């Protein structure tokens, strides 16, 4: 598919459940631009077979370091460091995913 076909799929109002959730089995992408603020990030194509793995990876990268720091150290500074690590991991992962297209 070329970019024009992908844009046409993305713009189809039937691809957006409740106006927020992107669900289009014809779209081969796992991550697509957000609907209202495309410049503001990505959302998951929940019709894609790898959607669940993608969502779970984002949750683990986001919460894993914070929870590990909390349970290991019980220290606010360590939890803050866990938040910083989480942000860095999520940004690096998203950058890798976005640049692989």
Same domain for 41 and 54, yes or no, is no
Q: What's residue 54's pLDDT?
A: 92
Helices and strands (H and E) in the chain: how many: 3, 4
In tens digits, the chain (101 residues) has pLDDT values of 899 999 999 999 999 999 889 999 999 999 898 887 756 778 899 999 999 999 999 999 999 999 999 999 999 999 999 999 999 999 898 888 777 65
Coil, helix or strand at residue 33: strand
Q: What's residue 100's pLDDT?
A: 64
Same domain for 31 and 43, yes or no, is yes
Same domain for 96 and 76, yes or no, is yes
Predicted structure pTM score: 0.76
Q: What's residue 1's pLDDT?
A: 84
Same domain for 54 and 100, yes or no, is yes
Q: What's residue 19's pLDDT?
A: 85
**Structural domain of 34:** 1-47
Structure token pair of residue 61: 């990268």
Same domain for 21 and 57, yes or no, is no
Same domain for 58 and 17, yes or no, is no
Residue 94 burial by Cβ neighbours in a 10 Å radius (0-12, 13-18, 19+): middle
């Amino acid at each position: 598919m070329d970019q024009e076909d992908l844009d046409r799929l993305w713009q189809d109002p039937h691809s957006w459940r409740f106006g927020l959730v992107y669900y289009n089995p014809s779209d081969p992408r796992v991550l697509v631009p957000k609907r209202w603020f495309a410049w503001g990030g990505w959302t998951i194509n929940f019709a894609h077979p790898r959607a669940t793995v993608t969502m779970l990876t984002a949750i683990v990268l986001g919460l894993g370091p914070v929870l590990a720091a909390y349970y290991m150290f019980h220290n606010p500074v360590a939890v803050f460091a866990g938040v910083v690590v989480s942000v860095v991991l999520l940004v690096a992962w998203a950058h890798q995913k976005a640049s692989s297209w």
